[in-house]
Amino acid sequence: MSSQLHRLVRTRAIGLVLGAFVVSASAWAQEVPAASLNAAAVQSKNGAESPPPAPSWDQRLRRIASDFMGTRYRLGGSSQDTGLDCSGLIKQIWQRLGLADLPHQAANMAKLGVPVQLRDIQVGDLVFFNTTGKQNSHVGVYIGDGRFVHASSVLKKVTENSLSESYYQKTFNGIRRLAGFDSANDAPALSE
């Protein structure tokens, strides 16, 4: 076989292999979800993947509050291991968020921050109730969609309820926003 014919055969063979590769790559691209391609595109110049975006303030507070769900109720309790009362729960959530140390009594927490109207409530606002015949005897934290998390002495555990439930409407005392919480977008930098 002449060298010219040998080059022609080799060139055509390479062309066939490249053509098959292009067809395979095209078929693969149609089968791979766009999210996978987008994730690959997030790589930096040195090939390392960029970290996922940090969770928002709302997401962090909800996640931390949900970590306490089902924790047993204990009057005066301040530990997830041995039990929590309502103010002990709020103290623990604030500590896990890396925020200020709060007093361990709902009535004392009700003296902090600024009052907020129900129409202006935001995630992270404290909600207060009169459940014992004393003003601000119970506290929970608002998590959005009309719901709050609290340590219930009736259910004997940390639970989630709606502000629209008749019991909580009847016993509702108000809302307080602690210093630095002017809006969900203005929430302080948090550490875990």
Q: 91, 138, 176, 177: which is the annotated catalytic residue?
A: 138
User: Residue 18 has which token pair?
Assistant: 């490249």
Contact between residue 128 and residue 173 where contact means Cβ atoms under 8 Å apart: yes
Q: Does 104 qualify as catalytic in the annotation?
A: no
Q: How far apart are CA 108 and CA 110, in angstroms?
A: 5
Q: 61, 64, 86, 149: which is the annotated catalytic residue?
A: 86
Q: Does 158 qualify as catalytic in the annotation?
A: no
Contacts of 40 (CB under 8 A, 6+ apart): none
Of 151, 164, 169, which Cα lies nearest the Cα of 77?
151
> What are the phi and psi torsion angles at 139 (to 5°)?
-140, 145
Q: Does 172 qualify as catalytic in the annotation?
A: no
User: Residue 126 has which token pair?
Assistant: 């404290």
Q: 60, 96, 150, 176: which is the annotated catalytic residue?
A: 150
Residues annotated as catalytic (active site), given as ranges:
86, 138, 150
